[in-house]
Each structure stands twice: as structure tokens, then as C-alpha cells.
Amino acid sequence: MDNDENEYKPSLSTTSKSITCSNQLCESGPTCKSPKQPCPYTANYASTATSSSGSLVEDILHLVSDGVNASNTYVRAPIAIGCGRQQTGGYLQGIAPDGVLGLGLGEVSVPSLLAKSGVMRNSFSLCFGESGFGNIYFGDQGLSTQRTTPFLPINGKYIAYIIGIENFCIGTTCLDQTDVKAQFDTGTSFTLLPNGIYNALVKEFDRQINTTKSKFEGTPFEYCYSTSSGKLPETPSVTIKFPDNNTFVIHDPLYVVHDNQGGILGYCFAIESSPNEIGLIGQNFMKGYRLVFDRDNLTLGWSRSKCQPLKGEETPGSNASSPISLPTTEQQKPPNVNAVAPAFAGRTTNSSTNNMPYSSSLPILLPLLLLVFHQLRC
């Protein structure tokens, strides 16, 4: 890749350590020629021919505590980093230019390592603001008033943040019972739904819009509409219904099409069809919510939010504690219940940096949930 100014270089970091094949975190250890060699990794993605390969290293993630219970406690937390030496596919076309923050359920994801080290609770929240800003908090379990729905296993294993959707509604009209599984995935910009549900949803949206469809070059969406006024018209609400009558109102279901001067040409219903049985809830459906991925209780929580810092908001009680090092075989223990207050990893902005001191900027389109570890270009 040509954009090298933000590359992570282990040799320039005084805290970087190589993770060898003998380490508990090295899944490819049994295939290594020597237990002392750097642990190799290869990550393949759903995007066509997109992959990253390299070796694992350990380095320090700098966090600062935040929230009403916090006292500006600084945390230096060791994490595993996939140091990418070779990228293919989408990575060569500019997606995630500096790296991918691994927040998945794998053993070497950032939340997993923070929790195993006893640094903070096994939970995190993220918020994509409607104005293009947002934040991520490690250790945050959300508000007591938030709504929740359980994560679902696939073949008996919790492999991703998958939830069960009972139904979709356009305005006051709800589709016939759908009962579909979908993954909350910030690595996907837009939402994809299985073919049958997609067709029913877009046709109901189109019926209520009652306007002739248009086509805009360069957009992947099937249901688009022109506007002659240069303004967006009122459109019907889009709501996801979960079991136990919990609802999730989509605040930004449209993709707005602009001309070269920034004027509004039209808009599209920003969902796509997928041949897969499991849908993907993308970033566009997440805006305006504080989403809590509670990995201890295996639930997704949500509450309306402007994505401002948590100071003055309700957060779980905590005591500061100092991290030790990455958990080894002997350190694979449940986290200490006295975890620090939610640690702030910065507001997301449209500028891009890959280092994370105290608070850091992450591009809002940075894929967050797909990888099992934090991965950077090296």
C-alpha cells in the first residue's frame, strides 16, 4: 500500500514484544517449525479475495477512565496485535487504511485480553454519532434503563455478535413473522438482509413512498428516488422488533445522493440483498445509539445517545487496577470483579490515526468487529 505514514513499526516501539509460537495465544503454534519463532497469522475476510497475513506482537494500549465514577485513571493495557506484512483485496483499495480493531469473541481480541488481565469488565460499548463522530468505551455495561436482547450461538458456539430478529416494520406496517438471525457488524457500512426478507421490506418501503424509482450511478442500492426540491422528504420509519417486544428504531435508513456541488439529488433505502441466511446489521442502522456488547451476560444493549463522553452518565462502579501482562497459560483466569471504570478509547472522527494514546481517533468506517485481534499494517 502507498499510504505508509501511519504504519506501526514494532522496532520503533519500546514496549513491543514478539509473541512466539509457544505462547498460549498462538493458534498456529502446532504448525510452527520452532516454538521460538514469531507466531504467524492469516486472516481471511468475506470480502472477495481480501486477507491479511503477518505475525503477532504484544504492545501497550493506552486508555483513560471516564464516566461519573471515574477519576481520570490511566490504564496501560497489553494487547495482541496482528502485524500485517501482506494485504490483499480490499486492503489494497483503501479500506481500513491503518488497521482493524479486533473486538470479536476470540481469545485474543482486545476486550478478551483486557478482561482476562483483570483490567476491566468483559464488556464494551460503541456509539456512531449522526454527525459523523463517535466513541468506544471498554468495560462499559451501559445504563440500567437500556433495552437488551441476547446473543445467539451458532452450532452451540458464540462466534459473533448474532441476535434474533422477530420482525421488521415500515411505519405502522409490520411484515409477516420473519424470525431471522443477524450479526451486528460495524465492519459492514450498510445493512444486508436475506433475499426473502429484503424483498418484502423494500417493497413495503416503496409502497409507502409512492414515488417512481430512480437510478444513480455508483450506488449499490436497488430502491432509490429523486427529489426536485433539493430536500429530503419525510419517509416512513424503519423498526426492528426483537423478542420480548423490544424495539430498535433505525434513525438513518437512507443513503443520500449528492451532486458535485453538495446539493441533494435523491436518496436510497440503504439496505442490500444477501444470499446468506444470516443478515448483517451495518453501521448505517447503528447511528444514534450507545450499543453495549456485554460479553459476560451475552447480551446486546442499546439506548438512545448523542455519542458524547460518558461523564455524568451512569456507569458501573469500579476501582482502579494496574494491568500485568498478556495472559499466559497460567493466567487464564476470570477477570477481577473490581474492574476500572469504562476506559475511553477516543472519539471516532473522519481523520485517521492508528496509534491509541490515552484517547485516539479512529475512522468511523473502521471495521471493528470482524477480527479476533487488533491488526495493524507493518
The tens digit of pLDDT for each residue in 80-116 reads: 988 888 888 877 766 656 777 889 998 889 999 999 8
Helix (H), strand (E) counts: the chain: 2, 26
In eight-state DSSP terms, residue 104 is: S
The residue-averaged pLDDT of 7-17 equals: 88
Distances (CA, A) of 21 to 42, 83, 294: 14, 15, 31
Q: Read off the pLDDT of residues 146-178 as tens digits, 9 standing for 90 and up.
A: 999 999 999 999 999 999 999 999 999 999 877
By mean pLDDT, which of 258-262, 295-299, 344-348 is the weakest?
A: 344-348
Closest to 267 measured CA to CA, from 186, 209, 204: 209
Domains of the chain: 10-139+310-377 (no CATH), 147-285 (2.40.70.10)
Distances (CA, A) of 267 to 155, 196, 208, 231: 39, 23, 15, 10
> How would you classify the pairing of strands 191-194 and 271-274?
parallel
C-alpha cell at 130: 449522526
Query: In the prediction, which pLDDT does 56 show?
Result: 94
Dist. CA 290–CA 126, nearest whole Å:
6
If one counts every other C-beta atom within 10 angstroms of the C-beta of residue 209, the result is 18
Residue with cell 498456529: 28
Dist. CA 122–CA 326, nearest whole Å:
15
Dist. CA 103–CA 372, nearest whole Å:
7
Higher pLDDT, 47 or 243: 243
Q: Read off the pLDDT of residues 188-238 as tens digits, 9 standing for 90 and up.
A: 889 999 999 999 999 999 999 989 999 998 899 999 999 988 889 999 999
Query: In the prediction, which pLDDT does 186 show?
Result: 77
Is residue 143 over pLDDT 90? yes
Higher pLDDT, 205 or 366: 205
Query: In the prediction, which pLDDT does 377 show?
Result: 66
Q: Residue count of the chain, please give it.
A: 378
Is residue 353 over pLDDT 90? no
C-alpha cell at 37: 519463532
Q: Read off the pLDDT of residues 305-330 as tens digits, 9 standing for 90 and up.
A: 988 776 545 444 333 344 445 544 33
Query: In the prediction, which pLDDT does 276 show?
Result: 92
Distances (CA, A) of 353 to 4, 96, 98: 11, 11, 7
Which residue stretches of the chain are H helix? 110-116, 195-209
In eight-state DSSP terms, residue 115 is: H
> How would you classify the pairing of strands 191-194 and 247-250?
unpaired
CB 83 within 8 A of CB 10: yes
Dist. CA 101–CA 370, nearest whole Å:
8
Residue 357: half-sphere exposure toward Cβ, Cα within 13 Å:
1
> What average pLDDT does the chain have?
79
What's the pTM? 0.80
Q: Read off the pLDDT of residues 52-88 as tens digits, 9 standing for 90 and up.
A: 889 999 999 888 876 555 556 778 888 998 888 888 8
Is residue 242 over pLDDT 70? yes
The residue-averaged pLDDT of 5-25 equals: 87
Kind and range of the H or E element at 292? strand 289-294
Residue with cell 498478556: 326
